[in-house]
Amino acid sequence: MDTTPSTNQHIRIGIGGWTFEPWRDNFYPAGLAHSKELHYASRQLSAIEVNGTYYSTFKPPTFAKWHGETPDGFLFSLKASRYATNRRVLAGAGDSIARFVDSGIAELRDKLGPIVWQFMPTKAFEPEDFEAFLALLPREVDGRRLRHALDVRHESFATPAFLALARRYGCVPVCTDSDNFPAIADAEADFAYLRLMRSQADVPTGYPPGAIAEWAQGVRAWTGGARPSGARPRDVFVYFINGAKERAPAGAMALMAQLGLGASAG
């Protein structure tokens, strides 16, 4: 049976990674081989954010393998290398950025989603240095357009100056639902990138049903192209991540169901 999610092409909903022991009790079927977890997860959800690329360098065959194990229409968001973002002077990140982009991510081909550049919570907004960093981000790799999401975590970024700068370089701020980080969104951006981090262990879906319904309403508004007349619908990426991580798959699937994007049998 094919359980590939029948998703609207503009909406991707998923989780962070696919290897997490508690999911073997409440998400993966009992006895499923660990080597089959990506195959299974990618047929219940429509996207995965890869955290491992933040800490380690992967080789082209690994990205090609991920592409081969997942269904058509599935997307991976990749966290860029921490060596590019965890530095005092961002303007000097050119070599680290190039090493990450040239590491083989192009092997994901049509399944390459946004690249997430995550900054330390202590990294404050310094306009000149940050602009120098954005100027280093490549627009494409092997002829494939890149989309960049900026996961900034310091309150100083919650300013129109940051949004204007990100917009100028075609980048999008990550909007984080968290007690610890600012929720920064750009209503004019080409796509939305949401990280939902308030999952509760005592709620089966992490987020209560009412909260999931509110997020679904927001996703519909975004993808509906509610901008000036003639604007195209925009993509949205939603990841249930962190918080009570064991609840993340259930939360993601609940949001998909709320949006009418449940898995279909073929």
Burial bucket for residue 56 (CB in 10 Å: 0-12, 13-18, 19+)? exposed
Burial bucket for residue 83 (CB in 10 Å: 0-12, 13-18, 19+)? middle
Q: What is the pLDDT of residues 44-90, one digit of tens each?
A: 999 999 999 999 999 999 999 999 999 999 999 999 999 999 999 99
> Within 13 A of 60's CA, how many CA atoms are on the CB side?
7
β partners of residue 263: 5
Locus of tokens 């319904």: 213
* Spatial separation of the C-alpha atoms in residues 130 and 225, rounded to whole Å: 29
Q: Where are the domains of the chain?
A: 11-258
Question: Which residue spans within the chain are E strands per DSSP?
Answer: 11-16, 47-50, 75-79, 112-118, 140-141, 144-145, 148-151, 171-177, 191-196, 235-240
pTM of the predicted protein model: 0.92
User: What is the CATH code of the structural domain delimited by 11-258?
Assistant: 3.20.20.410
* Spatial separation of the C-alpha atoms in residues 7 and 20, rounded to whole Å: 25
Amino acid at 195: R
Locus of tokens 């990426």: 237
From the list 86, 57, 199, the residue with the least C-alpha distance to 152 is 86
Q: What is the pLDDT of residues 81-132, one digit of tens each?
A: 999 999 999 999 999 999 999 999 999 999 999 999 999 999 999 999 999 9
Number of C-beta neighbours around residue 252 at 10 A: 28
Q: What is the pLDDT of residues 177-234, one digit of tens each?
A: 999 999 999 988 989 999 999 999 999 999 999 999 999 999 998 887 555 444 567 8
